[in-house]
Amino acid sequence: MSPTSSLSPKRSTWQEAVRLSLPATLSLLLHAGYRVNDQFWIAPLGPDAQAAFGVTSFQLIFNFALIVLVQAGTLARIARHTGSGDQSARDKVFQTMVPVGFLWFVTIGVIGWVTTPYAATMLGASGEVHDLAVAYLRAIYAGLPFLALKPFTDGVFLGLGNTFTPMVLAGLSVVLNFVLNPLLIFGYAGFPEMGIAGAGVATCISRGLCGALGLMLLAKHYGMKPLRPIFHWPELKRVLQIGMPVSFSNAAYSLSFIAVLKTSVAPFGRDVQAGIGVAFNGLEAVSYCGYMGPAIACSSLVGRRLGAKDYVGANEAVKACLSMSLLIAGIATVLFLWIPERLVGMYTESPEVMAAAALYLWVVGWTQMLTATDSVLQQALAGAGRTFLMSITTISGLAIRVPMAWLLAHHLVWGPKGIWWAFNISNCIKLVAIVAVFRFIGLHKVAAPRTSPPSP
């Protein structure tokens, strides 16, 4: 956790990519442990609880999209200033975004808590599944300002080129979450029995404590003081310019999935809802985190190399990170296509839920490598601060999913597999578009950031 603020001249691009990617991948896999852990402890509560947990997955992705509004831009700007060696400008970004980010997280929490019953209905939940979804989501929104500290501080560390500290904090957080889940869900050791809401409370406590610890480490090792807020409008404006398109893209992913759940998945009933919860939370989330590790490392590397005006190194970083991401996605592809039933059997004994989950896993297995490529190119553009066209192509590709899923599943009577094949087709379309955008922009065309001169 050295306060080094520039790329090491002794490391090649590939060495730097590996150094950043391995902890970033492990960190994301540990974060996936939240959902896997919750899926495991919620299973004894029955299929209704599993279905509720499954449909809330995409509301949580929407929450993260709102957090990304400040996280993505903060990461990109800190990476640029770190690469250029401008510590004063780096600290201005941090000290501006800490208070702005906290106010934004409080706003999300309040609005989310009030609108949760309507959100659960929009997700396609009804009856007992609806009530359980509301209980879980309200627990999350009540603690969201605290919970959001972890992804925010992760973004700051990544901008600094430090993926080791977020990994350690993620491990600590997951261990704490694993301990708290049974205590709060089932009321062991004198704790209140909260049911599915206990999983939400455990997540907020474990992530919040480690996010607060992250702020302390930033102050200690990098001299970045969170309790000395300032308001620097030019940096705030640039952070939002970068973060808003990324936020819209993440929100579009969530909203498109929610729309599909409501229009195409809900008519197939609880077993399909529970099946997608098992496959998405317990397994595809692990694959996603695996190939997103190198993608996030790519964002940090590209931002810092462009800050140092090393355009060749920035493009080399993309190639290196893409290679690692494709390797991980390839392994997931083999497993998803070869043994889907055995994988989903770790989370459910219901034959109907198992069949629905295995079908989802087998279909999406065909496009894991395509999705990995798309993710790396998106993160490269985010690290470069060029997110507008990326956002347009991503949102357009996701919008196609909703009518296509209904057409294949219900009009052409393919059943649930038609929904998942619609996802694959839209992923192919998105990839073609993002490759075109990446080639059009080109990292060598990205201008060096305008920064104020360092303070004497």
Q: What is the largest CA-CA distance in the chain?
A: 70
| CA-atom Rg of the chain in angstroms | 21
Please write down the HEC assignment for all residues of 43-80: HHHCHHHHHHHHHHHHHHHHHHHHHHHHHHHHHHHHHH
Q: What is the Cβ-side half-sphere exposure of residue 399, based on CA atoms within 13 angstroms?
A: 8
Q: Give me the pLDDT at residue 446, please.
A: 53
**Distance set, CA 102 to CA 71, 97, 226, 384 (Å):** 11, 8, 11, 25
| pLDDT tens string 53-110 | 877 877 888 888 899 999 999 999 999 999 889 999 999 999 999 999 999 999 999 9
Quick one: 69 exposed, middle or buried, by C-beta within 10 A (0-12, 13-18, 19+)? Answer: buried
Instruction: List CB contacts of 129: < 8 A, sequence separation 6 or more.
Output: 48, 51, 52, 55, 270, 273
Q: Tell me, yes or no, whether 455 lies in a domain.
A: no
Show the tokens assigned to 187: 């009321």
- What's 446's DSSP letter? P
**Distance set, CA 437 to CA 80, 97, 247, 320, 394 (Å):** 21, 29, 18, 20, 11
Q: Tell me, yes or no, whether 63 lies in a domain.
A: yes
What is the pTM assigned to this prediction? 0.79
Q: In what helix (H) or strand (E) does residue 300 lie, and over which residues does it extend?
A: helix 285-307
Q: Which residues does the chain have with pLDDT short of 70?
A: 1-11, 444-456
Number of domains in the chain: 1
Q: Is 46 left (phi over 0), alpha (psi -120 to 50) or beta?
A: left
- What's 147's DSSP letter? H
Q: Give me the pLDDT at residue 47, please.
A: 81
**Distance set, CA 317 to CA 19, 174, 331 (Å):** 12, 30, 22
| pLDDT tens string 114-162 | 999 998 888 778 888 899 999 999 999 999 999 999 999 999 999 998 9
Show the tokens assigned to 419: 């929904």
Q: Tell me, yes or no, whether 69 lies in a domain.
A: yes
Give the separation between CA 397 and CA 368, rounded to whole angstroms.
16
- What's 172's DSSP letter? H
Yes or no: say if 29 and 291 are a contact pair by the CB < 8 Å rule: no
Q: Would you tell me how many other CB atoms lie within 10 Å of the CB of residue 17?
A: 25
Give the separation between CA 418 and CA 355, rounded to whole angstroms.
15
Q: Tell me, yes or no, whether 298 lies in a domain.
A: yes
**Of 346, 335, 446, residue with least CA distance to 389:** 446
Show the tokens assigned to 81: 């200033």
Q: Give me the pLDDT at residue 5, please.
A: 40
Question: C-alpha 6: how far from its chain's center?
Answer: 26
User: Alpha-carbon dihedral of residues 391, 396, 397, 399, nearest 10 degrees?
Assistant: 120
Give the separation between CA 53 and CA 64, rounded to whole angstroms.
16
Full residue range of the structural domain in which residue 325 is found: 13-444
